[in-house]
Amino acid sequence: MAPVTLTVDTLFAAMFAPILGVFIFWFLQLFFIELQKRMLGRLRHRHEAFCRFTNYIGMLFQTISQALGYTVTRSGIASFQATVNYGEVEPKKEKEGVFEWIARSFLLFGPFFIPSGLILLVSVFVIGRGFVFPALVQYTFVESLTGFFASLTSYAKEVVGFLIDIDLLNPVHVGWLFVLVFLGLGIRPSYIGHERKEKIDILYDLRHIKDHLVEKPLYLLVIFLFLYVFYIVSLFLNPVVYIGLFTLFGWMSLTAIIAILMTFPLLLLIKATDWIQPQWKIVPFLSVPISYIVARVAFLYIPTSQIGRMSLLVMVLSTVVVTIALLRYKKTNRFKTPPKMKHMRVADGKKRTSKK
């Protein structure tokens, strides 16, 4: 490794490049979470059970993050409770000061990174490639930021390529996809409370995080000094170590973004079926496995080098065509319900059916 040229950029500015990259992807994650919550809000009046299920997933992840905070601070866990509207962990030992602050940090930041970190760990065995740390020629702010985005771009290409060529007849692939969508549906709860549902949006998260950080400015200063010392040490030993640490957080955030995006087709399909007559609502969902299996069988007799990708394309197109056809069929009034009987009220308060 070539010796590092010490400049003001190298000694100070380059330290903030990977931190800035993590913040960019984290705010993108918050944006897509907010977009998903708006979509769920439009479904709530007709799909209350489904929305309550997604809210439970969010409360579960949030409660697990809180429990990990107490575990790291060696406070212990006395009780663990997670419901659709409520989640709470009681520690065995009530600790104050820095330990209390760290435990609360896990509660506020954990749901954004911990679940996606578990999927990232599993992805190493499923995807196997794309986990490339940046190789820097010059350790400057621009070079560090460029290397950070290059590592995340490489990971994103591998994940997207895996999803395009995914084998839905492979239990491992299906299991990984299920966990990914499961994470995406509940990375953050949409509301809390039993009677009064307090909405949790991007402003709610940012407000509580801001209050938590400004409450203990001394802790922030200590963290900054620790990062700077770690940065200087890695600068002389191996500069990739420092940027690699934040690359891991970038991969977690990117995994969460991909998981959220994977839920959008499901939410759009649920929304589209609201306009279809009840007896036909199940058809678009049945077309997903049926069209895929039929395509896989058909491509066994049709020579092609991309059976998985072509079968997936047939599945998507078939589901879209079937859904649009059912929507257009509804507009032809073939499902028109019989006209309601008209009633007229007489002076004595009784109803009398008018004859036509």
Q: What are the DSSP calls for 159-193, one per residue?
A: HHHHHHT--TTSHHHHHHHHHHHHHHHTSS-SEE-
Where residue 294 falls among pLDDT bands split at 50, 70, 90? Answer: very high
Residue with tokens 């059976």: 307
Instruction: Look at the chain and count its residues.
Output: 356
Contact criterion met (CB below 8 Å) for 69 and 102: yes
Is the pLDDT assigned to residue 331 strictly greater than 70?
no
Is the pLDDT assigned to residue 20 strictly greater than 60?
yes
When the pLDDT of each residue in the chain is averaged and rounded to a whole number, the result is 84
Q: What are the DSSP calls for 202-253, one per residue?
A: HHHHHHHHHHHHHH-HHHHHHHHHHHHHHHHHHHHH-HHHHHHHHHHHHHHH
Q: What is the DSSP letter of 17?
A: H
Res 225: pLDDT = 93
Res 356: pLDDT = 37
Contact criterion met (CB below 8 Å) for 266 and 163: no
- At position 336, the amino acid (one-letter code) is K
Average of per-residue pLDDT across 47-67: 90
Res 41: pLDDT = 86
Residues 6+ apart with CB under 8 A from 69: 102, 103, 104, 105, 106, 107, 110
Is the pLDDT assigned to residue 335 strictly greater than 50?
no
Higher pLDDT, residue 59 or 193: 59
Where residue 349 falls among pLDDT bands split at 50, 70, 90? Answer: very low
Is the pLDDT assigned to residue 271 strictly greater than 60?
yes
Where residue 64 falls among pLDDT bands split at 50, 70, 90? Answer: very high
**Predicted confidence (pLDDT) per residue in 247-258, tens digit:** 999 999 999 999
Where residue 216 falls among pLDDT bands split at 50, 70, 90? Answer: confident
Average of per-residue pLDDT across 10-29: 89
Is the pLDDT assigned to residue 334 strictly greater than 60?
no
Is the pLDDT assigned to residue 343 strictly greater than 50?
no
**Predicted confidence (pLDDT) per residue in 70-79, tens digit:** 999 888 898 8
Average of per-residue pLDDT across 182-209: 78
Average of per-residue pLDDT across 211-232: 90
